[in-house]
Amino acid sequence: MNFKQSAKLFKLSKELSYNPKNRLDLFLEQDNETRIELLATFTKPIRKDIVTRIPQKDLMQILESLDPDDATDIIQLFTRRKRQKIVSKLSKSLRVAVTDLLFLDTETTAGLMSANYVQIKPDDHISTIAEKFKVHERRTGKMPVILAVQEGKLVGHLPGHQLGTTRSSEKATKYITDITTKEHTATKKEVENLYRQHPHKKVAVIDEKGVLGIIYSDDVLRAMEEQESASLYDFAGVRQEESVKDSIKSKVGFRYKWLIINLGTAFLAAFTVGLFEGTISQFVLLAVYMPIVAGMGGNAATQTMAVMVRGISLNQVSLKSFIRTLKNETGASIINGFINGFLVAAIVIIKDRDYKLAFVLALAMVINLIVAAIFGTIIPLIMKRFGKDPASSATIFITTATDVLGFMAFLGLASMIL
Query: Are 289 and 178 in a shared domain?
Result: no
CA distance linking residue 220 with residue 224, whole number of Å: 6
Query: Are 209 and 161 in a shared domain?
Result: yes
The per-residue pLDDT for range 139-156, each reduced to its tens digit, is 767 788 899 888 888 888
pLDDT given for residue 61 in this prediction: 92
Specify the CATH number for the domain of residue 217: 3.10.580.10
pLDDT given for residue 362 in this prediction: 92
Q: Where does a domain end: 48, 76, 105?
A: 105
Residue 321 predicted with pLDDT over 60: yes
Average confidence score pLDDT of the chain:
80
Residue 339 predicted with pLDDT over 90: yes
Q: Where does a domain end: 78, 105, 132?
A: 105
Number of neighbours of residue 166 by Cβ within 10 angstroms: 20
Report residue 153 CA to chain centroid gap: 34
Q: How many domains does the chain have?
A: 3
Instruction: Give the C-alpha distances (Å, rounded to integers) separating 402 from 300, 314, 393.
Output: 9, 26, 16
**CA geometry: angle 401, 415, 289, nearest 5 deg:** 60
End-to-end CA distance of the chain: 73
Kindly give, in sequence order, each residue whose CB lies less than 8 Å from that of residue 72, ignoring residues fewer than 6 positions away.
Answer: 98, 101, 102
72 neighbors 42 (Cβ within 8 angstroms): no
Give percent of the chain with pLDDT exceeding 90.
Answer: 11
pLDDT given for residue 1 in this prediction: 56
Q: How confident is the model at residue 243 (pLDDT cuts 50, 70, 90)?
A: low
Considering only residues 221 and 320, tell me which one the structure prediction assigns the higher pLDDT: 320
CA distance linking residue 281 with residue 288, whole number of Å: 12
CA distance linking residue 232 with residue 306, whole number of Å: 10
Identify the helix (H) or strand (E) that includes residue 341: helix 323-352
Residue 344 predicted with pLDDT over 70: yes
pLDDT given for residue 58 in this prediction: 92
Residue 233 predicted with pLDDT over 70: no
pLDDT given for residue 224 in this prediction: 57
Instruction: Give the C-alpha distances (Å, rounded to integers) separating 65 from 58, 94, 96, 116, 352.
Output: 11, 10, 15, 14, 74
Structural domain for 79, as ranges: 3-105
Average pLDDT estimate for 149-175? 86
Query: Are 265 and 408 in a shared domain?
Result: yes
Strand partners, 24: none
Q: How confident is the model at residue 332 (pLDDT cuts 50, 70, 90)?
A: very high
Considering only residues 256 and 264, tell me which one the structure prediction assigns the higher pLDDT: 264
Specify the CATH number for the domain of residue 53: 1.10.220
Largest CA distance in the chain: 97
Strand partners, 337: none
Residue 262 predicted with pLDDT over 90: no
pLDDT given for residue 238 in this prediction: 47
CA distance linking residue 88 with residue 121, whole number of Å: 31
144 neighbors 130 (Cβ within 8 angstroms): no
Phi and psi torsions of 29, nearest 5°: -75, -15
pLDDT given for residue 236 in this prediction: 46
Q: How confident is the model at residue 338 (pLDDT cuts 50, 70, 90)?
A: very high
313 neighbors 385 (Cβ within 8 angstroms): no
153 neighbors 181 (Cβ within 8 angstroms): no
CA distance linking residue 103 with residue 254, whole number of Å: 28
pLDDT given for residue 220 in this prediction: 66
**CA geometry: angle 137, 143, 147, nearest 5 deg:** 105
The per-residue pLDDT for range 382-411, each reduced to its tens digit, is 887 877 666 665 777 788 888 888 888 888
| 198, part of any domain | yes
Q: How confident is the model at residue 322 (pLDDT cuts 50, 70, 90)?
A: confident
Considering only residues 187 and 1, tell me which one the structure prediction assigns the higher pLDDT: 187
pLDDT given for residue 60 in this prediction: 93
Length of the chain as a residue count: 418
Residue 267 predicted with pLDDT over 50: yes
Residue 209 predicted with pLDDT over 80: no
CA distance linking residue 74 with residue 65, whole number of Å: 12
Give percent of the chain with pLDDT exceeding 70.
Answer: 82
Q: How confident is the model at residue 225 (pLDDT cuts 50, 70, 90)?
A: low
CA distance linking residue 66 with residue 77, whole number of Å: 15
Residue 319 predicted with pLDDT over 70: yes
Residue 314 has what DSSP assignment?
T
Which pTM value belongs to this model? Answer: 0.51
Q: Which of 64-68, 160-164, 302-306, 314-318 has the lowest mean pLDDT?
A: 314-318
| 357, part of any domain | yes
Query: Are 180 and 31 in a shared domain?
Result: no
Query: Are 86 and 129 in a shared domain?
Result: no
Query: Are 11 and 53 in a shared domain?
Result: yes
Query: Are 57 and 137 in a shared domain?
Result: no
| 386, part of any domain | yes
CA distance linking residue 183 with residue 36, whole number of Å: 31
The per-residue pLDDT for range 364-381, each reduced to its tens digit, is 999 999 999 999 888 888
| 239, part of any domain | no
9 neighbors 38 (Cβ within 8 angstroms): yes
